[in-house]
Amino acid sequence: MALDLDRLSPVEQAMSRRRRWRWIIILLAAALLIWWLVFVNQYVVAYDKPIDHFRHGSIGSETANGLPILVFKALPVLYPDRMGPGGWRRFGLLYEGDDELPVGFSRRVVTGVERVWLNCSVCHVGTYRLPGQTEEHYVYGAPSNNLRLYDLIRFFIDVGRDPGFSADALVNAIDSDAVGGNLNFVERAVYRYIVFPRVQGAFLVLGRQLAFVERQEDWGPGRVDTFNPYKAIQFNFPMGPDSISEAALNGAADYPSIWMQRPREGINLHWDGNNSSVAERNLSAALGAGVTPVTVDRAAIRRVEDWMWELPAPVFPAADRIDGGKARRGEGLFTAYCAGCHGMKRDGAYDYSRRRYPGLGQVVPLPAIATDPGRWASYTPAFAGAQNMLFAGYPWRFQHFRKTNGYVGQPLDGIWARSPYLHNGSVPTLRDLLEPAADRPAVWFRGGDMLDLDRVGYRSDPGAAGAFRYDTSRPGNSHKGHEGAAYGTALSASDKDALVEYMKTL
C-alpha cells in the first residue's frame, strides 16, 4: 500500500478551511464596497464659486426626479418636431457659452447613473437686452422671463403617452451621432430594460398627477402655478373639477426676484405673504424643484441661501437714461404715495424698515388690492395645514405657512428688472401699472427680453417679444387692481412719468 503523501493532516485541513473562509469574506467585502460605491453612494460636482453653485450645483432633485443625462440629450433627437433645432431652448432654457447643460440644471450620479434635474436658477435667472443691441445680459437672482414650464411639463406628459416612445427609439437616439452615447452591449440592455421603463413610468405618473394642467390656462413664459402642482405631487390633493374652483385652478404666478434676503427675514413674503421665514421659503422652493423631504441636500441649499443673503439688487443698466431732476420729483411722490407699503431708498441704500414703512410686508386684503384672485385662492387653509406637516420630526419642520387674506406689499429693490408686474405678471411696464386697469394693455406679448427704458419693463409688442399672447381676460390673468388715488393711478401724466423715473433708481 502506497503512502498518500499529499493528504493533508487534520491540522492542515483546518487551516485551509480557515484560509478559504478568509478569502470568501474578503471577496464579499470587496463586492459590498463596489456595490456601495456604484449603487448607494451619490456623486455631485462641487463648484468653487457660489455663482456656479447657483447655476449648476445639485440641491438633491435628481435622486427622485432626475433624468439620465443620455435620456436628456436623446429627447431633442427623438422630438425635433416639438423642440426644433434649438432643442431644450424651445422651453426657454438658457445655455451660457458652451455649457453642456442649461442654466438651472444640475447633475448627480445616483445608483451608478448620471442624472440631471432642476435647481433654483432655472426659475431665478432673468435676461435682458438693451434697445438696438443683440447682446443678452444675464441677471442672477432676477425672475426668469424665458422659462416655459407649462410647455415643458406638457412635453414630458406627452412623451410618456406617446406610443412612438419606445426602448428601441430611445437606445437608437442615444447611439446617434448627435448624442454620441456609444453604448456597449451591457449598457444597451440596461437602457432597454431598466432605464426606459422607469423614465416612461415616471412621465406617465406625472401625467396622472398633473392631469389638471390640461384644464388650466397656459402659464406662458416667466410664470408657474406655484401651489397646484405642489398640492398634487407632494400630497395627492384631489384636483378634479368637483374639487377645485376655476379661480383656484388658475393660480399662475410670476417668478419673483431672490436678491437681498437678509433684510427679508421676518417679512411676510411669497406673493400672498404666506410665510415670514427665509429658510422655509427656500426649503419649500426646493420641493418645487423636485427634491423630496428624504433626498433634499440641505447643505447645498444653505450655500445658495448664503449667496442670496446679501446679493445686491441689479443697477439700472442705462444711467444716461435717468433724468435726475425728474427722478428727484418722483422721489417726493414715491415717499408720499408708495413707500408706506414698499419701503424705499434712504441715503443710497434700500431701506427695508418695517418701523418706518408699516405697510411693508403687510397683506393688503383682496377686496382692497383687487388684483387677480387666482394665486390667492389656489393657496388654501387645508394646503397650509399639509405643508406644516412637511419635515415633521425634524428641527426644520415647516411652522410658518399660513393662509392670508390678500397680497403683500414687497420691497421694490431692482424693480426695473422684475417686469412684467403684479403677482401674475399681468402688467408689462411700471408706467402701465400707474394707469387705471382700463388703460393698461388688455392683450400683449410676453417672453421677450428687450427693455423699454422709458416705460420700464420688457417690450410687449408682438415684434419685440417672444410672442406669447397674454390675454388679460382669461382666468388667472386679470390686470386689474392696485388702482385708485392711493396707488397713484389718479396722478397727472407728468407725475406718473416722474415716479417711473425714480423707480429706475431703486
For ligand HEC, the binding residues (CB under 6 A) are: 59, 118, 120, 122-124, 224, 226, 253, 255-256, 258, 261, 269-271, 281-282, 285-286, 288-289, 301, 304, 337-338, 340-342, 359, 364, 369, 371, 375, 407-410, 412, 415, 418, 421-423, 430, 433, 482, 486-488, 499
Nearest CA-CA partner of 300 in 310, 314, 313, 289: 289
- Least Cβ distance, residue 106 to ligand HEC (angstroms): 10
Q: Which is nearer to ligand HEC, 137 or 298 (CB)?
A: 298
Q: Which is nearer to ligand HEC, 181 or 488 (CB)?
A: 488
Q: Which is nearer to ligand HEC, 90 or 192 (CB)?
A: 90
Q: Which is nearer to ligand HEC, 330 or 448 (CB)?
A: 330
Q: How many CB atoms lie within 10 A of CB 486?
A: 14
Q: Using CA atoms, how far apart are residues 68 and 82, in angstroms rounded to an integer?
A: 20
- Whole-Å CA distances, 75 to 85, 207, 220, 442: 12, 17, 22, 37
Q: Which amino acid belongs to residue 39?
A: F
Nearest CA-CA partner of 120 in 294, 270, 256: 256
- Least Cβ distance, residue 412 to ligand HEC (angstroms): 6
* For residue 420, cis peptide bond before it (omega within 30 degrees of 0): yes
- Least Cβ distance, residue 327 to ligand HEC (angstroms): 13
- Least Cβ distance, residue 15 to ligand HEC (angstroms): 59
Q: Which is nearer to ligand HEC, 122 or 174 (CB)?
A: 122
Q: Using CA atoms, how far apart are residues 52 and 303, in angstroms rounded to an integer?
A: 11
- Whole-Å CA distances, 16 to 21, 29, 228, 357: 9, 20, 66, 84
- Least Cβ distance, residue 288 to ligand HEC (angstroms): 5
- Least Cβ distance, residue 134 to ligand HEC (angstroms): 27
Nearest CA-CA partner of 264 in 350, 324, 184: 350
Q: Which is nearer to ligand HEC, 207 or 373 (CB)?
A: 373
Residue with cell 426676484: 257
Residue 333 in grid coordinates: 411722490
Q: Which is nearer to ligand HEC, 80 or 436 (CB)?
A: 436
Q: How many CB atoms lie within 10 A of CB 212?
A: 20
First to last CA, the chain: 107
- Least Cβ distance, residue 252 to ligand HEC (angstroms): 9
- Least Cβ distance, residue 438 to ligand HEC (angstroms): 17
Q: Which is nearer to ligand HEC, 231 or 270 (CB)?
A: 270
**Positive or negative, the Cα torsion across 224, 225, 227, 233?**
negative
Q: Using CA atoms, how far apart are residues 307 and 260, in angstroms rounded to an integer?
A: 9
Beta-carbon-side half-sphere exposure of residue 407 (alpha carbons within 13 Å): 24
- Least Cβ distance, residue 297 to ligand HEC (angstroms): 10
- Least Cβ distance, residue 354 to ligand HEC (angstroms): 13
- Whole-Å CA distances, 217 to 212, 288, 444, 451: 10, 20, 16, 26
Q: Which is nearer to ligand HEC, 122 or 377 (CB)?
A: 122
Q: Which is nearer to ligand HEC, 70 or 430 (CB)?
A: 430
Q: How many CB atoms lie within 10 A of CB 261?
A: 22
